[in-house]
Structure 1
Amino acid sequence: MEPVLFYGVPQGCSFGTIVALEWLGQPYRLCRIEMLEQPWDPLFAKVNPLFQTPSLLLEDGEPLSESLAILQHLAARDLSTRLGFEQGSREFDRLNQMLAYLNTDFFSAFNPLWALYETQGLNGVEQALLRRLGREKVAEGCAYLNGLLADREWLLGDERSIADAYFVGIARWAEYHRLFDMPREYPHLARHLIKLREDPAVSFADAIERGEPATGRGHFYGHVTLEELRSRLVA
């Protein structure tokens, strides 16, 4: 069977991995994980013992977790796509640097906002503090990325990469939490997001996440359930 990506909804960072799979153009399947439905199916522990998405079940039955590892694995499947680069090259180092920034600084900037979203019983002062902390950290990240994109078409330069795929799954959170007037405050960042939203792969990933009919490049072979994967997960 084709590799299977386990993606989380709603608003999962695995969104970007779906975009990367569409850009790659090789056969794959998806398994939907509803992150807010607890407890998770214990069978998923065979894929990821930390119960996190995204996770990728490879053709040989070996699981791979963590966004950066999955994205670099996908890019390495066909370097001619220019989604990634040969390890040891300067381009690879620049890509790794960008992915690390997005995965650490930019991703974690949203943590106070997700804590506010998920935590019950906070008083008004606590809620305001979390929102202020989140907004300040996200603003720092947006300002940095806005500056980079002032004279670039894509995060690394003239060509798209897996960094742009990962970026679109995270940057949309700023709009979800209604933090800024993005076009006014971060126009270059807003321009990049608009361009990405118009990309067929991003539209496809958005429809997938919403559970709506989705038309991709023809390499998506459908959804599978954890139960359908049992024979591959349990030796």
Structure 2
Amino acid sequence: MIKFYYNLAPNPTKVALCLEEMGLPYEPIPVDTRKGEQHAPEFLAINPNAKLPAIMDDGVTVFDSNAILLFLAEKTGQFLPANTPAERGPMLSWLMFVATGIGPYSGQAVHFRGFAPEPKEYPLARYNFEAQRHWGILNTRLADRRYVLGDTYTIVDMAVWGWARMASFVLGAEEYAKLPHLARHLEEINARPAAARALALKERHSFKAEMDEEARRSMFPHTAR
């Protein structure tokens, strides 16, 4: 059985969706980052980057959420486009667009708005701009397609969904209202039974909610130096 190390952040949530969509049996193992559990030697042996999520599948360890999606899709043959250069090229491009653009810029926009010390005008302006730009590109992509790659639901849509659930929070309600095609895509995936099961993970474990000094040291260790 797959061991799935998770918390409730966007990246683990999209892996939860993938596992549920594929019908793969898995054991969810919570890792509370606000308590510093990601720095424990047992977890660092699984993921030396001390980030969530990670999986262990029959002795094989995979970390990084997008790598996990691709690994599981190739293993099962599910939720992939046709295995041709013409189909795989866009799949890899958009999957990496989420991995290197949507996720990092959205995460940094939230970080600098809510957690970084002053002064932060320049980094906040930069990351807000880049988050808006990346989400705008994706909104345009979805304007004339049901899913990111066309008519077929794939792991790329799962990758988008993990972060799209937070897009209104990342961008603010006014900017999010300018992305109707993204909102339509999010609503459609939200209605899938697998999405409901993935979100139900939050009921299985009570993660620490307080952003106290312990949490800050655990999540932002550079501030303790």
TM range (shorter): 0.7 to 0.9
Q: Are 1:180 and 2:159 matched, yes or no?
A: no
Instruction: Output one character per residue of 1:162-208: Cα deviation in whole Å (capped at 9) or x when no partner.
Output: 01111111122222335233663111111111111122222222221
Q: 2:13 aligns with which of 2, 12, 15?
A: 15
Q: For residue 131 of structure 1, report the CA deviation from its aligned partner.
A: 3.6
Q: Which of structure 1's runs of 4+ aligned residues deviate more than 6 A?
A: none
TM-score calculated relative to the size of structure 2: 0.81
**C-alpha distance in structure 1 between counterparts of 2:126 and 2:47, whole Å:** 31
1:156 and 1:168, CA in 2 relative to 1: closer, same or farther beyond 3 A? same
More helix by share: 2
Instruction: Output one character per residue of 1:82-135: Cα deviation in whole Å (capped at 9) or x when no partner.
Output: x1246554222221111011101212212132244343xx23x52x44443332
Deviates more, 1:38-47 or 1:97-106: 38-47
Equivalent in the alignment of 1:4: 3
**C-alpha distance in structure 1 between counterparts of 2:153 and 2:54, whole Å:** 23
1:174 and 1:132, CA in 2 relative to 1: closer, same or farther beyond 3 A? farther
Q: Are 1:189 and 2:182 matched, yes or no?
A: yes
Q: 1:27-66, aligned counterparts within 5 Å? A: 27-38=25-36, 40-59=39-58, 61-66=59-64
Q: 1:90-109, aligned counterparts within 5 Å? A: 90-109=86-105
**C-alpha distance in structure 2 between counterparts of 1:210 and 1:162, whole Å:** 25
Q: Are 1:117 and 2:122 matched, yes or no?
A: no
**Structure 2 unaligned blocks of 5 or more:** 206-225
Partner AA of 1:188 in structure 2: H
Give the alignment's Cα RMSD to 1 decimal: 2.1
1:168 and 1:192, CA in 2 relative to 1: closer, same or farther beyond 3 A? same
Once the two structures are aligned, what percentage of the paired residues are identical?
23
Question: Across the two proteins, how many residue pairs are aligned to each other?
Answer: 203
CA contact (8 A) 2:109 2:131 kept: no
Instruction: Output one character per residue of 1:10-60: Cα deviation in whole Å (capped at 9) or x when no partner.
Output: x2411111101111112222111112212533211121122111111011x
1:150 and 1:178, CA in 2 relative to 1: closer, same or farther beyond 3 A? closer
CA contact (8 A) 1:15 1:209 kept: no
**C-alpha distance in structure 1 between counterparts of 2:127 and 2:104, whole Å:** 9
**C-alpha distance in structure 1 between counterparts of 2:196 and 2:151, whole Å:** 22
**C-alpha distance in structure 2 between counterparts of 1:211 and 1:35, whole Å:** 16
Deviates more, 1:50-59 or 1:175-184: 175-184
Partner AA of 1:133 in structure 2: R
**Structure 1 unaligned blocks of 5 or more:** 213-235
Q: 1:70 aligns with which of 65, 68, 71?
A: 68
Instruction: Output one character per residue of 1:134-172: Cα deviation in whole Å (capped at 9) or x when no partner.
Output: 321111012111111111111110011001111111122
Matched residue SS, 1:36: helix
Partner AA of 2:125 in structure 1: R
